[in-house]
Amino acid sequence: MRILLTGSSGWLGRFLAPMLRARGDVVTGLDVAPGPDTQVIGSVADRALVDRVFAEHGIEAVIHAGALHKPDIVRYPAQAFVDVNVTGTLNLLEAAVAAGHERFVFTSTTSLMISQAIRAELADHAVWLDEASGPLEPRNIYGVTKLAAEQLCRLAHLENGLNCVVLRTSRFFPEEDDTHRALSGENMKANELLHRRLTVEDAARAHIAALDRAPGIGFGSFILSAPTPFDRGECDELKRDAPAVIARYFPDAPALYASKGWELPKSIGRVYDAMLAGKLLGFRCEADFGSVLESLRKNTPLPFAHDPNYVSPKETAGVG
């Protein structure tokens, strides 16, 4: 397939583009910042540019991974989020419909599922989140615009028959968390693989699975996260005493963590359930919390990337 990949210079794009090419796809990368997998420099908010790319490169399918993200809130006005995340998505959808496409994959986020109450962990139990969770009350402009873009994908399917798969990815960024610094970055990422993270490699593989399954799905929205070992019946205890629950599944986790100088989470306030992606996309993340413990046992590299110095290419290129 001749695929348009937006966000090709970003963290996901640098892993996804080579995977697509390795299986024989022709990838045209579109990004506001230059990169080794980016052939077209520009914004998805520029409709004339989008139309030109479709025409000149014979695009047959779209993976729309380009966006302004949550850390960008401090750098860009709300209108920029609307322009890029909403208008940009509409531009791509309309171009795909006009071209008669049958595959459109949209990179969304689990962040839009997190209300202020969930983020503050006000409940006396861990909140179990799956595709049926709601009502959705995004807490910032990032989540609001991503939810709006998801709805545009749904409309494109309903009104025009475009097969759209929405992937609500949990965390896979390599940098430090921009709000929580109680634990080291590696310790936090390892903990999050229990309930709210996946590796960037798994995120890329999931996009390929979605691309392949799109015609058979029509429209679907899926949570992407490493498989959690927990079940809904443990939500009360996860909030009250997470280490006890973790130790039932991974008896040597406390000792392995102690040898690394790490801490297990004392309390878990939310859990992402990615089972639907397994059932309908045939996708399951390869790396999980067990992979972390195996790395600690064998003293091998951790299964996730951690780069405290990572900066988005659009910032290093001075695009903003």
Positions annotated as catalytic residues are: 142
Asked if residues 162 and 156 have their Cβ atoms less than 8 Å apart, the reply is yes
Angle between the N-to-C axes of helices 88-98 and 47-57, in degrees from 0 to 180, rounded to the nearest 10? 40
Asked if residues 266 and 309 have their Cβ atoms less than 8 Å apart, the reply is no
Q: Is 41 helix (H, G, I), strand (E, B) or coil?
A: strand
Residue with the two structure tokens 């405290």: 308
For every residue of 170-229, DSSP letters joined together read -B---S--SS--SS-HHHHHHHHTTTTB--HHHHHHHHHHHHHHHHHHSEEEEEE-PPPS
Q: How far apart are CA 222 and CA 169, in angstroms?
A: 8
Q: How far apart are CA 211 and CA 208, in angstroms?
A: 5
| Alpha helices, DSSP H, located in the chain | 13-22, 47-57, 78-81, 88-98, 116-119, 141-160, 185-192, 200-217, 235-249, 253-260, 275-276, 289-298, 313-316
